[in-house]
Structure 1
């Protein structure tokens, strides 16, 4: 059974949005904190070979960049990964290898997880992340937390995300101020 890992770049106040869509004023707010050491840590967190689970907007943004990026372990890994894409227009996908997830997102993810293959990494989709959490489909989360407050933008855990508990697996502080924290999903929220 394949594992599903959520990976997100996130501000201290929970914002994951980085593009200028929806009048978001802080495009590329992660750039001042990027370092070769941080890039290598993030790539290592992918776990070698992996496949991607992407929402359509993230797929479209990435397909305009990664196929043309210079060869590197990160670019080569992303380009080689099978991209499982949530889309109503699978015929318009070009950056491969790819597969449209189908109309039932939950069933599609369950099907992919039950197949043999590398682990799945979900990146960049707040809507898809909420669905994955709601249905208990994620196994792990890697949060790459930046020392900034943005005050506006799409949040990693949107209003209505079901309560869950997590177990800290590892954490590492980078010299640039980024903190990489890996969590294992630990079931429903425990109280009392």
Structure 2
């Protein structure tokens, strides 16, 4: 399977509690629900496209706790999305805070990197990662991420859990698709593109990047 990270984030990289004030108040976060006012049809279609090719979900313990406290309680009449969320197989890295009663859930007990490598070798389409910023850092550092689907909202939050914080491994990215929704959300699909390339516009400094090719500018 292909490993795809799908995340909604603020312009300053915060991914905490996009869906509502009560989603995740940890560490005193008080800006929950920041994605809702800018969630238009194009944002919905972009997020839906990520789920359309998913054959399984992969989440960290914290994100699983949030999902498990929400989706199993909903009926298709209350939220049509519950059909997909409750039917997709899901894999959890780390031990959930409560006994797992959500059907279709598998807790991965071994080393996270080894377990995800094993999952990627299974037949299927996409293994979709939701939320889980800590897990995403681990997956990026192990070179296991095949695509990043980012919905970047036009808002600055200042604090909260960030997708790319301290410890992020330097990585070059290729922009495969990009657009902006009517509400101003930037919708981007990236793929890893090897090491970060370097150059210089400073006089007297080497103007070639790490691959040996001349830097532009």
- The alpha-carbon distance between structure 1 residues 164 and 93, as it changes in their structure 2 partners (threshold 3 A), is same
How far apart are the structure 1 equivalents of 2:177 and 2:42? 17
Give the structure 1 partner of residue 188 of structure 2.
Answer: 181
How far apart are the structure 1 equivalents of 2:9 and 2:169? 19
- TM-score norm. by structure 2 comes to 0.82
Give the structure 2 partner of residue 68 of structure 1.
Answer: 73
Contact 1:126 1:158 (C-alpha < 8 Å) held by counterparts: no
1:74-113 matches, within 5 Å, as: 74-88=81-95, 92-113=99-120
Does 93-102 or 123-132 show the bigger shift? 93-102
1:17-56 matches, within 5 Å, as: 17-18=16-17, 19-56=24-61
Give the secondary structure class of the aligned counterpart of 1:39: helix
Give the secondary structure class of the aligned counterpart of 2:8: strand
Long gaps (5+) in structure 1: none
Does 34-43 or 66-75 show the bigger shift? 66-75
How far apart are the structure 2 equivalents of 1:95 and 1:189? 41
Structure 1 segments (4+ residues) deviating >6 Å: none
User: How much does 1:162 deviate?
Assistant: 0.6
Give the structure 1 partner of residue 141 of structure 2.
Answer: 134
Give the secondary structure class of the aligned counterpart of 2:193: strand
Contact 2:54 2:127 (C-alpha < 8 Å) held by counterparts: no
| RMSD between superposed Cα atoms in Å | 1.8
Query: Normalized per residue, which structure has more helix?
Result: 1
How far apart are the structure 2 equivalents of 1:8 and 1:103? 25
Higher relative contact order (CA 8 A, sep 6+): 1
Give the structure 1 partner of residue 162 of structure 2.
Answer: 155
User: How much does 1:89 deviate?
Assistant: 5.2
Long gaps (5+) in structure 2: 18-23, 199-208, 210-217
- TM-score norm. by structure 1 comes to 0.92
- The alpha-carbon distance between structure 1 residues 113 and 107, as it changes in their structure 2 partners (threshold 3 A), is same
Give the structure 1 partner of residue 202 of structure 2.
Answer: none
Count, aligned residues: 191
Specify which of 128, 132, 144 is matched with residue 125 of structure 1.
132
